[in-house]
């Protein structure tokens, strides 16, 4: 009766590598197409859902609720989840492709993009106190490979980047310990955030206020945090809105600033007042300090003369994501002249989806759309006989990988 996509019988066996949103949505669309196919999602971690579990802020429960939808894949729709299994290490790509008709890489882009400026750790000479946003959100979300031991936020934090991830960090660093705990944030992590505690945050982006990347609802959400006053320099905030540009993000920041009130003398005395300052149009230039960072220096992004130096107990970078240098699976290793990244096809029977396919842009819904289109491509290729069916699926893997 579901006229939108009629399921066909006797589909291919399918392995999806990575259980983040792209991998799970892909399994959903492929299951709709082939009700009886062997569909297995592998993840190197023991728990599924990737960035939904470890990247989405813990207080965004509405966004995280998409995992309830994915639960149904495993509970009801006969998709198998195989955790603690890293493809390229526990199972080779060769073994996987020998067992499954279709292999789809959905491993995402987990590494924090580096600032690429002097003072940043890269070689061994970098300063401590600089953390990627991915690392921080994993820590806050209880990722098994992150530890709070070496993390010191201090009381003055500089956040580089003006996307939604940067705004998540602003909000989380100013959230009360009680509320953090209520969202399941571990005690040692709450302790690190409160150790300063965080008193002042500078949020610095390259774009002008009109072109900032964050969403307006993220800015509005900041107005609900108690005892915070927001600032920005008038000349940075009131840049002209160009033709065809939309000033709503700039206006949301202006409203946030206008509505935030100075701390009452009592709050100031009690030392509970916090401040956040937005800076627009600044590109990071260098980090300074001895051993650990103590200042961040920015230059004007438009190339004009001028610099901005901010005292920083810690620096959080939120300027995007890339492939991990030590990734056991790389897209480039599987690309050839025969690949067609626009459709997700790497080779006959081998595909990629989500951020790994198209780069670190777009939220969960964008990856749903992506998964839908790749599922259509896989369906069309199978119908056209581009790869044969008949490989055994999960049962064709070495026995030690099937426990």
- As beta bridge partners, residue 104 has 16, 351
1 versus 266: smaller Cβ distance to another protein: 1
Which region among 2-10, 205-213, 276-284, 382-390 touches another protein (by CB under 8 A)?
Answer: 2-10
Residues 6 or more apart whose CB falls under 8 angstroms from that of 7 comprise: 32, 33, 34, 35
Residues 379 and 63: beta-carbon distance below 8 Å: no
Residues 308-367 close enough to bind another protein by CB under 8 A = 364-365
Q: Within positions 142 to 161, which residues make up the interface with another protein, using CB under 8 A?
A: none
Q: What secondary structure letter does DSSP report for 8? A: B
List binders of another protein among 253-272 (CB under 8 A).
none
CB of 53 to another protein, least distance (A): 13
369 is a contact residue toward another protein (CB under 8 A): yes
Q: Distances in Å between the alpha carbon of 242 and those of 237, 251, 253, 255? A: 14, 14, 18, 20
Whole-angstrom Cα distance, residue 209 to residue 237? 6
What is the C-alpha separation between 366 and 355, in angstroms, rounded?
Answer: 10
| Interacting residue with another protein among 86, 90, 179, 221 (CB under 8 A) | 221
| Minimum distance from residue 377 beta carbon to another protein (Å) | 18
- Residue 191 CB, shortest distance to another protein, in Å, is 25
Our measurement of the distance from residue 130's CA atom to the centroid of its chain's CA atoms, rounded to an integer in Å, reads 18
- Residue from 12, 17, 19, 28 touching another protein (CB under 8 A): that is 28
CB of 55 to another protein, least distance (A): 15
Residues 117, 317: contact at Cβ < 8 Å?
no
CA distance 196 to 209: 29
CA dist 45 and 146 (Å) reads: 13
Helix/strand/coil percentages in the chain, nearest 5: 35, 20, 45
Q: 2, 94, 235, 400: which one contacts another protein (CB under 8 A)? A: 2
Q: Which of residues 36-75 bind another protein (CB under 8 A)?
A: 61-62, 64-66, 68-69, 72
By CB under 8 A, is residue 220 in contact with another protein? yes
Is residue 1 involved in binding another protein (CB under 8 A)? yes
Distance separating alpha carbons of residues 173 and 119, to the nearest angstrom: 24
Smallest gap from Cβ 252 to another protein, in A, equals 9
Smallest gap from Cβ 341 to another protein, in A, equals 22
Per the CB < 8 A criterion, the answer to whether 208 and 242 are in contact is no
Residues 113 and 111: their CA atoms lie apart, in Å, by: 6
| Minimum distance from residue 139 beta carbon to another protein (Å) | 21
Least distance (Å) between residue 68 CB and another protein: 5
Q: Which of 44, 250, 368, 391 binds another protein (CB under 8 A)?
A: 368
Question: Quick check: 292 and 128 in contact, CB under 8 A?
Answer: yes
Which single residue is written with the structure tokens 């842009």?
A: 361
Q: How many residues bind another protein (CB under 8 A)?
A: 23
Q: Does 245 bind another protein (CB under 8 A)?
A: no
Shorter beta-carbon distance to another protein: residue 191 or 365: 365
Please report the DSSP string for 144-166 in residue order: TT--STT----SEEEEE--SHHH
Shortest gap between Cβ of 220 and another protein (angstroms)? 7
Binders in 200-219 for another protein, by CB under 8 A: 215-217
> Taking CB under 8 A as the rule, does residue 99 contact another protein?
no
Beta bridge partners of 277: 202, 231
Residue at token pair 């279709």: 102
- Footprint on this chain of another protein (rule: CB under 8 A): 1-4, 25, 28, 61-62, 64-66, 68-69, 72, 215-217, 220-221, 364-365, 368-369
């Amino acid at each position: 009766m579901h006229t939108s996509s009629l399921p066909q019988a006797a589909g291919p066996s399918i392995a999806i590598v990575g259980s983040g949103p792209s991998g799970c949505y892909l399994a959903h669309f492929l299951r709709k197409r082939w009700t009886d196919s062997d569909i297995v999602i592998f993840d190197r971690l023991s728990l599924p859902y990737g960035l939904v579990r470890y990247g989405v802020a813990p207080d965004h429960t509405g966004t995280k609720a998409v995992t309830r939808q994915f639960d149904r894949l495993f509970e009801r729709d006969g998709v198998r989840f195989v955790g603690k299994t890293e493809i390229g290490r526990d199972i080779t790509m060769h073994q996987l492709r020998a067992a499954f008709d279709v292999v789809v890489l959905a491993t995402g882009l987990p590494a924090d993009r580096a600032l690429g400026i002097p003072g940043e750790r890269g070689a061994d000479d970098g300063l401590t106190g600089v953390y990627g946003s991915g690392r921080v959100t994993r820590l806050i979300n209880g990722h098994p490979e992150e530890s709070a031991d070496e993390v010191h936020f201090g009381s003055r934090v500089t956040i580089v980047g003006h996307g939604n991830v940067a705004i998540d960090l602003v909000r989380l660093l100013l959230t009360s310990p009680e509320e953090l705990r209520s969202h399941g944030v571990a005690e040692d992590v709450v302790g690190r955030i409160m150790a300063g505690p965080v008193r002042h945050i500078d949020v610095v982006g390259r774009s002008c206020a009109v072109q900032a990347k964050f969403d307006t609802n993220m800015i509005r959400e900041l107005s609900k945090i108690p005892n915070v006053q927001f600032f920005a320099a008038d000349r940075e905030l009131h840049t002209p809105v160009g033709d065809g540009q939309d000033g709503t993000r700039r206006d949301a920041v202006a409203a946030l600033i206008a509505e935030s009130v100075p701390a009452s003398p009592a709050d100031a005395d009690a030392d509970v007042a916090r401040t956040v300052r937005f800076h627009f149009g600044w590109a990071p230039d260098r980090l300074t300090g001895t051993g650990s960072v103590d200042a961040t220096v920015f230059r004007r992004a438009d190339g004009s003369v001028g610099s901005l130096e901010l005292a920083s107990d810690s620096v959080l970078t939120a300027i995007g994501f890339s492939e991990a240098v030590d990734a056991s699976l790389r897209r480039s290793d599987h690309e050839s002249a025969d690949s067609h990244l626009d459709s997700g096809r790497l080779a006959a029977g081998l595909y990629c989806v989500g951020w790994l396919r198209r780069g670190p842009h777009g939220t969960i819904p964008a990856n749903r759309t992506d998964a839908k289109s790749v599922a259509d491509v896989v369906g069309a290729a199978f119908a056209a006989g581009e790869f044969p069916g008949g490989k055994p699926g999960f049962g064709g893997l070495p026995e030690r990988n099937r426990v």
